[in-house]
Amino acid sequence: MPEIKNIAVIGAGQMGGGIAQIAATAGFTTKLLDPFPGAIDKAKSLHDKLLARAVEKGRMTQPDADAAKSRITYINDQGDAALNNLADADIVIEAIIEDAAIKKDLFAKLAAMLTADQILATNTSSISITEIAAATPCPDRVIGMHFFNPVPVMKLVEVINGLATSPDTTERTIALAEKLSKTPVPANDRAGFVSNRVLMPMINEAFYAWMEGVAEPAHIDEIMKLGCAHPMGPLRLADFIGLDTCVHIMDVLADGLNNERYRACPLLKQLVTANRLGDKTGRGVFDYSK
């Protein structure tokens, strides 16, 4: 099978922007696509800022930062035809909203325009890889490649095979993760995999503790940091992940594991309704407007 040289990333949010950045820094020709106005501009200015900071801190030379930037093509086209821009990618990594119906629709469209060797990877935090793969005629080439936030910093990639994922797809994905300087670790295709099966109920419980007045948010976080040696409290972490993403993941856990104890806390859902999504909107549990 051909070596991966060209990477396409769909969704230029927190995760997609980070994946595109590390791909370009590792020497891959990279395309980043997002149809929504403003998303690409935001990702591009974040890349400029983070690469400039890496140079300032001596982690990268200016020519290397310039070369990384020049490897990224930003695509802000609307409509299904925009996907044709990705036809030459060896792997497409999807990092759009955590919604099974929207992801399946995208994978069906992607599969229709790709050639025989391309891998379709999803960065989903919780949705079944088998289910996403079933929306395509090529489930052997669909795989979960679950990066962590912030992508340039976090070493882990959870690699999740769907029921039909071929050994060749798995091998090439693991090799790619290593070339991106990440540590791939396998997990099975059950809702939430390992990371979110364990992490997200803890975050949800922190919202219940807040809602029931057990402690105020800053104290809940302080207790978990000092008492459990967590580097970040669960509520601060929820803001960082995105409260909307947390709700989507809890829904997937509740439905996928068929257990109502995984339903999102009403207070978490209320903050999402109020568009308090965390860092990305400037306010979630905590206020970042200043």
Catalytic residues: 125, 146, 158, 196
Cβ of residue 96: shortest distance to ligand NAD, in angstroms?
A: 4
Cβ of residue 158: shortest distance to ligand NAD, in angstroms?
A: 9
Q: Element (H or E) spanning 134, and its range?
A: none
Which is closer to ligand NAD, CB of 102 or CB of 226?
102
Cβ of residue 208: shortest distance to ligand NAD, in angstroms?
A: 21
Reading the block at residue 212, the tokens are: 């029931």
Which is closer to ligand NAD, CB of 87 or CB of 226?
87
Cβ of residue 83: shortest distance to ligand NAD, in angstroms?
A: 9
Distance of CA 144 to the CA centre of its chain: 11
- CA pair distance 70, 75, nearest whole angstrom: 14
Which is closer to ligand NAD, CB of 20 or CB of 68?
20
The set of residues, in sequence order, having a beta carbon less than 8 Å from that of 284 and lying 6+ positions away, is 238, 239, 243, 271, 276, 277, 278
Cβ of residue 49: shortest distance to ligand NAD, in angstroms?
A: 16
Contact 35, 78 (CB under 8 A): yes
Number of H helices, E strands in the chain: 11, 8
Characterize 250-268 residue by residue with b for buried, 16 or more Cβ atoms within 10 angstroms of its Cβ, and e for exposed. bbbbbbbeeeeebbbbeeb
Residues interacting with ligand NAD, by CB under 6 A? 10-16, 34-36, 39, 95-98, 102, 106, 123-125, 146-149, 241-242, 245, 280
Which is closer to ligand NAD, CB of 11 or CB of 284?
11
* DSSP 3-state percent helix, strand, coil across the chain (nearest 5): 50, 15, 35
- CA pair distance 252, 256, nearest whole angstrom: 6
- CA pair distance 5, 19, nearest whole angstrom: 15
Q: Which residues are bridge partners to 30 per DSSP? A: 7, 72
Which is closer to ligand NAD, CB of 87 or CB of 214?
87
Cβ of residue 82: shortest distance to ligand NAD, in angstroms?
A: 9
Query: Looking at beta carbons, which residue is closest to ligand NAD?
Result: 13
Q: What is the largest CA-CA distance in the chain?
A: 57
> Going along the chain, which residue ranges are E strands?
6-10, 29-33, 72-75, 91-94, 119-122, 142-147, 156-161, 183-187
